[in-house]
Structure 1
């Protein structure tokens, strides 16, 4: 008799499956480079500079002694701000933000080293990566925690507002028949009293 396989436990195991994590890393890395490419191409066209792959993948373009290097640095910082939105949409878990942010920058280090055939030796490049990872992690954690702490609405309707009782000229409320007391103690009923009745 074949052994019955137990169904996968819902929750953390399903969320942390290797296939899903790999897919999230690939999509996040593609979004990271796509947004950086759009920003860098737009900035280069506005500045009248020649557009090339070196502006995106070469660490030699990021220098602190040229205007182009500082402009690219600001663009990469802006890209880290935008990547926090991608983390919120793709990851949405504050505990995983640091891992994904560091993974994105580690992959960027490998891609840059393979493209230039050398490990980055520019201190400005390393400082920019540390700044970018810090911004991406901080904003990503804050955004994911804000999303996690939002109140959950189960479709319940808010209670209907009670109509105030009609008031007479003296400012006292008048009721006809049955009503509810102001203190919320329960319903009451108006009973007609005789002229000679005794008040209890």
Structure 2
């Protein structure tokens, strides 16, 4: 007797695809920097400060002893809140939020170090990254769990439409699971059986 194959979990191969993971990381990182650039440019125009790329990639701009440094830190926190939306739209799985959030900040550390030719030594910068990663992870997990726990609407008709039939069980065939019902032509009976109860020979 041929051995039955266990069907793969839906989406398992797609979730583990290196190409898909790499593309998601690239898109998330670009969205992270694009949103930060928009917020920084807007804040600099409002505050009358000079717009420079150092505000985006230099860790020396984030200082706790100047008003510009605190304002820039607030902008990065707002950017973390916006990144939660990107994670919800692109990842949508609570188990993967921590990995992608830490990856975003790790890549930002590498980019910042390469741009300034030095590893960040500002304590304010590190505290901001820790706060940003924690905020992005916690809110991202909550948002993805909220989306995962939403009820799924199948293609079956509503309860009102099922109850409005002539004999009350004419639409019972739309319900998934095990049950008995009468054919639409009124002749004979049928029984719904789960696919797992049937042996499939390969």
In the TM superposition, 1:167-186 aligns within 5 A as none
In the TM superposition, 1:1-200 aligns within 5 A as 9=8, 10-160=10-160
Give 1:16 shift: 1.4
| Runs ≥4 residues deviating over 4 A | none
Give 1:13 shift: 2.1
Give 1:14 shift: 1.8
Alignment partners' CA distance in 1, 2:48 and 2:125: 23
**1:5-50 per-position Cα deviation (integer Å, ceiling 9, x unaligned):** xxx9552122111000000000000000000000000000000000
Q: Calculate the aligned-residue CA RMSD, in Å.
A: 1.8
Structure of greater Rg:
1
Q: Which stretches in structure 1 are left out of the alignment for 5+ residues?
A: 1-7, 164-200
**1:81-110 per-position Cα deviation (integer Å, ceiling 9, x unaligned):** 000000000001100000000000000000
The secondary structure found in structure 2 opposite 1:160 is helix
Alignment partners' CA distance in 2, 1:160 and 1:140: 37
Moved more, 152-161 or 93-102: 152-161
Alignment partners' CA distance in 1, 2:156 and 2:17: 34
* TM-score calculated relative to the size of structure 1: 0.75
The secondary structure found in structure 2 opposite 1:50 is coil
Count how many residue pairs are aligned between Structure 1 and Structure 2: 156
Alignment partners' CA distance in 2, 1:110 and 1:90: 23
**1:54-113 per-position Cα deviation (integer Å, ceiling 9, x unaligned):** 000000000000000000000000000000000000001100000000000000000000
Alignment partners' CA distance in 2, 1:45 and 1:83: 22
